[in-house]
A and B are shown apart, each in its own frame.
Chain A
């Protein structure tokens, strides 16, 4: 066999790597290793860099390649395609000498560590084998999660391209936050007018299946074929019958703040002028046995606690003196109106809701929660007979090829802070939108919630919870603009009201934005440059304490209404779906795009795309643009009928398999099957986590994508250059990314830490760890996802179990149990990564 030649390519990454790592020295060292040659380039990922690699493979007849550059999360696709043109796309190894080397270590340390890491890569590369691929089908349907403006737009766009779209929304109606807005910047056009054609288009589009009031319970599978389980929550109103007429929701309730969030009100009103006190109604009601009406002096007396809402009195009153005021006696704070104003236990979030089907809220409905089982107010008035008591979760199972996540944002909870949000006259900007909206609880009148009066002075406070390390460090991007808009709408309507904006900087960058800012200023709004220290409750009024930093003067602004421009957080839905799908997200909880600049709507997982504010704060127009881009990326992914997947899966050597069936039991994906007295791994089901190969007692199971020999060779390689190292096995889903993030934020730690990337912490065997100790490692850390968050269900738990066993062994043989440890963290926990390695390093020295 001809001598193998491995090519190592070192990237300078401009000065990012070359600034700390002595490239020349690294190169010389590599060239002294047998069967290896090194080359370097300023930007390997560039066109020229890739050309250089391809040329070298050809000219030097390289059999394997090692790339020493940034993190595989950035450019592994690029290099795989580049090298794949000349070699089997698995005959190369990616070594990270930026995030985990030059960004966190200095000079000589960085150089030494880079050499050790590359040596590990080279030794592993010597054992790499080609991995073949198979073709699997791509399903054409698309799941869109989240029915806000981004999800709606993506659905419409995909539907118009001919795809079948399942749009899932957790709330009873689609429309998200945008339907709550009054007008939108920078055009001041009505939000509802822009969005409502889209609402009805979605309701009518044949290619869109709308699943509102539904949750995504489970997603399994692979790009091109996801099995999705959706749970549609019961509405206790038959969707096929309800016409959305709104009779059941009739109410005359006017309060802006429902006392304690819940109130029981009268269902009927007897008009004294019309009533002749014939007492027919009293008789009827008593005959039925309710006794809600009793004889009174000049008119019957009514007790809502006894009334069941049969409304017979209303129908039978000869003088038509009785009128229904509230069909449903229950009033709870309206979610749609952000807690201002009320809704019944039967309701529809807003008049144009899609679907218009009403729903009963089982927590508050007296009939469903058992407080008044015979209540039937809504039943009595519903002409369509749509109201039902027997209703339950409906499970819908789908298979889709791609998923769009558009789960959006929510406002940060600022309770118990210096802003006094507990005071009724301190409201959020979203609450103000509801007050501004002509469809809102006040019909468009901006009033103080405490007494319904138009305030004489309004103070807007910017950056509430944003640009603040105690809350969210980032800028929420849209608050400056919406505060300008709100201030200006109020000032235009009520020039006499004193309107002030307390701000740190006004961020109005975007087309037409600065002009908008300028014309808003000119309306006579007081801009005070200062970050508010505190909002003080001064009875009904409020005092806003701020330093006017341009004047150097402390001001106490007496304000009748305070509006907080509250920071945007990823919504619960965003956090949940990211966790469920194992998507990478930042410390802030927003989902990370594949690349923040050039792949803004792709995620780390092919087949899953993002749109809108689930990946960070942005205005409506950007969300819509993104949604269209997302639809386009989805259709690119779905264009072929088949896709090729590499067989990095487990494989059993039948000649050594002893048929113990351990793998069959241990595999979390039921990928191992028994066939004709032999065990086989079903490639399509296998997730390539490698847990089976760790457990296989006879070594019959091999993970093609990462064999034991390869891992051991990498360990030996590292320790040959730097014997005193600490080997850190990092799961590719969590800790590896946490370490990358630590690098990005330049958090320093010891260069003794050497990372080996594994698919899952469950891939690490006792033997791997012992090999590390045998070759001199000072300690071994195994790091995996948090418990309950393993991407392969329980790989981290099996790793934990193994480490516990191994600890005993290490104590016995004198190495010491403290030299091995399991750590759990999520991909965003950079600080935790640094703390863990520091702690462990201290322990091992």
Chain B
């Protein structure tokens, strides 16, 4: 078993527990254990974008400092939002020595962060493990299942933190192809889902997801795969208000777990649009 330091993020403890469970199960099947090596706190969820207020980056850098002092050279997270926040902060302090100095001074109760941690998203770890390895462990290929991999913002933008070409991402496509799924591509799969406006301006989110879901539907998608709990919430739970018949939305890790024969780790019941009828119809679920 190989090990890597793991950053679950708040949402994994609550509304996205099915993301975590399926991810841990997938990595275990691939011979990797994701270990919580340090006392992590909330990542901060958004990267501070103003030059004159470093406070917004404290929680992200605090996590990095703790990871470093726990001896972690790399940390992996499933949540695209945690990934983006941690990675942006990490890039910022690597670029800006003064900012790092100030932040270290401010966090005088923590050991200094020296910029020695690399932040990974679990898709990157999967790519590193290799598509062959993933393919080898497939017991139930998702043949005939037309999946639209939704990337959203946080894995692709801004450019410095992109895990793939931000205009033509392929990384999730490849992983899903390796488990036998058919890929549906569309430009809207990299569009924003409306993000936190789900709290204060639902209408923005509804218009966003309507565009995304209609586009992939036109291309014959059976379901959407996501890598972020907020995207999942907006694309799945918010369909309640669309009244257009549901299109299932699953975490990519659930699909891999399913292909690996680990249905028990998928917790499909946690979705608003129940994917089970579809999966049963395709003979992927009993």
Q: Mark A390-422, 1 if CB is under 8 A from B, else 0.
A: 000000000000000000000000001110101
Sample (14) of A-B pairs whose CB atoms are under 8 Å apart: A416-B165, A416-B167, A416-B168, A417-B167, A417-B168, A418-B167, A420-B187, A422-B168, A534-B187, A536-B187, A536-B188, A537-B185, A537-B186, A537-B187
Chain A residues in 8 Å Cβ range of B165: 416
Among B165, B168, B186, B187, the one with the most A-chain Cβ atoms within 10 Å of its Cβ is B187
Within 8 A of A (CB), among B117-172: 165, 167-168
Q: How many A-B residue pairs have CB under 8 A?
A: 14
State the main secondary structure of chain A at its contact with B.
loop
Q: How many residues on A have C-beta within 8 angstroms of the other chain's C-beta atoms?
A: 8
The residues of A with any CB-CB pair to B shorter than 8 Å are: 416-418, 420, 422, 534, 536-537
Quick one: closest A residue to B219, CB to CB? A539
A417 to B165, CA, bound (A): 9
A420 to B187, CA, bound (A): 9
Closest B residue to A545 using CB positions? B187
Q: Which residues of B contact A418 (CB under 8 A)?
A: 167
- What 10 A-B pairs have minimum CB-CB distances, sorted nearest first? A536-B187, A416-B168, A418-B167, A416-B165, A417-B167, A416-B167, A537-B187, A534-B187, A537-B186, A420-B187
A interface footprint on B42-81 (CB within 8 Å = 1, 0 otherwise): 0000000000000000000000000000000000000000
User: Which residues of chain B have C-beta atoms less than 8 A from A417's C-beta?
Assistant: 167-168
User: A417 vs B168: C-alpha distance in the bound complex, in angstroms?
Assistant: 7
B169, closest chain A residue (CB): A416
**Could you say which residues of chain B place their CB within 8 Å of the CB of A536?**
187-188
Instruction: Report the Cα distance A416→B164, complex, angstroms.
Output: 11
B167 contacts which chain A residues (CB < 8 A)?
416-418
- Nearest CB of B to A421, in Å: 10
Contacts of A420 in B (CB 8 A): 187
Complex alpha-carbon distance, A418 and B159, angstroms: 13
> How far, in Å, is A396 (CB) from chain B's closest CB?
44
Contacts of B168 in A (CB 8 A): 416-417, 422
The CA of A536 and the CA of B188, in the complex, are separated in Å by 9
Contact with A along B173-205 (1 / 0, CB 8 A): 000000000000111100000000000000000
Q: Using Cβ atoms and an 8 Å threshold, which residues of chain B touch A416?
A: 165, 167-168
In Å, the complex CA distance between A418 and B185 comes to 14
Q: Return B95 CB to nearest CB of chain A, in Å.
A: 12
Shortest Cβ gap from B219 to chain A (Å) = 8
Report how far A301 CA is from B186 CA in the complex, Å: 44
In the complex, how many angstroms separate the beta carbon of B258 from the nearest chain A beta carbon? Answer: 29
Q: Tell me the complex Cα distance, A420–B188, Å.
A: 13
CA distance A534 to B167 in the complex (A): 9
C-alpha gap A536/B212 in the complex (Å): 13
Interface centre among B165, B168, B185, B186 (most CB of A within 10 A): B168
Residues of B within 8 A of A534 (CB): 187
Query: Which residues in A have their C-beta under 8 angstroms from that of B188?
Result: 536
Closest chain B residue, CB of each to CB of A418:
B167
Q: Tell me how far the C-beta of B152 lies from the nearest C-beta in chain A, rounded to whole angstroms.
A: 16
CA distance A408 to B185 in the complex (A): 37
What's the Cα separation between A534 and B166 when bound, in Å? 12
CA gap between A417 and B190 in the complex, in Å: 13
Complex contacts, B186 vs chain A, CB 8 Å: 537
Min CB gap B165→A, angstroms: 5
Give chain A nearest CB distance to B183 CB in angstroms: 14
Q: Which residue of B lies closest to A415 (CB)?
A: B168
Complex Cα–Cα for A537 and B186 (A): 7
Nearest chain B residue, comparing its CB with the CB of A416: B168
Q: How far apart are the CA atoms of A618 and B30 in the complex, in Å? A: 56
Residue of B whose beta carbon sits closest to that of A420: B187
- Provide the bound-state CA to CA distance between A723 and B135, in Å: 65
A420 to B168 Cα, complex, angstroms? 9
Residues of A within 8 A of B185 (CB): 537
Nearest opposing residue in chain A for B159, CB measure: A470
Which residues from chain B contact A537 at a C-beta distance below 8 Å?
A: 185-187
A416 to B167: give the CA distance in the assembly, Å: 7
Considering the chains assembled together, what is the distance between the CA atoms of A749 and B128 in angstroms?
Answer: 40
Shortest Cβ gap from A540 to chain B (Å):
13
Distance from B261 Cβ to chain A, minimum over Cβ atoms (Å) = 35
CA A534 to CA B186, docked complex, whole Å: 12
Q: How far is the CA of A418 from the CA of B169 in the complex (A)?
A: 11
Known: A420-B187, A422-B168, A536-B188. 8 other contacts (CB 8 A): A416-B165, A416-B167, A417-B167, A417-B168, A534-B187, A536-B187, A537-B186, A537-B187
Interface string of B17-54 (1 = CB under 8 A from A): 00000000000000000000000000000000000000
Nearest residue (CB) in A for B165 is A416
Q: Within the assembled complex, what's the spacing in Å between the Cα atoms of A416 and B168? A: 6
Bound CA span A536–B218, Å: 14
Contacts of A422 on B, CB cut-off 8 Å?
Answer: 168
Q: CA–CA, A417 to B166, complex, Å? A: 9
Nearest opposing residue in chain A for B188, CB measure: A536
Tell me, rounded to whole Å, the shortest Cβ–Cβ distance linking B246 to chain A: 24
Complex-state Cα separation, A102 to B262, whole angstroms:
69
- Taking the nearest CB of chain B, how far is it from the CB of A552, in angstroms? 20
Cα distance, A422 to B187, chains bound together (Å):
13
Question: B97 — nearest CB in chain A belongs to which residue?
Answer: A842
Bound form: Cα–Cα A422–B185 in Å: 13
* Chain A proximity mask over B210-250: 1 for CB below 8 Å, otherwise 0: 00000000000000000000000000000000000000000
Question: How far in angstroms is the closest Cβ of chain B from A459?
Answer: 16
CB distance from B218 to the nearest CB of A (A): 8
CB-CB nearest in chain B for A543: B187
> What residue in chain B is nearest A422 (Cβ atoms)?
B168
Question: What is the distance, in angstroms, from A535's C-beta to the closest C-beta of chain B?
Answer: 9
Across the two chains, which residue of chain A brings its CB closest to B187?
Answer: A536
B169–chain A nearest beta-carbon distance, Å: 10
Closest chain A CB from B192 CB (angstroms)? 13
Cα A537 to Cα B167 with chains together (Å): 13
Nearest CB in chain A: distance from B220 CB, A: 11
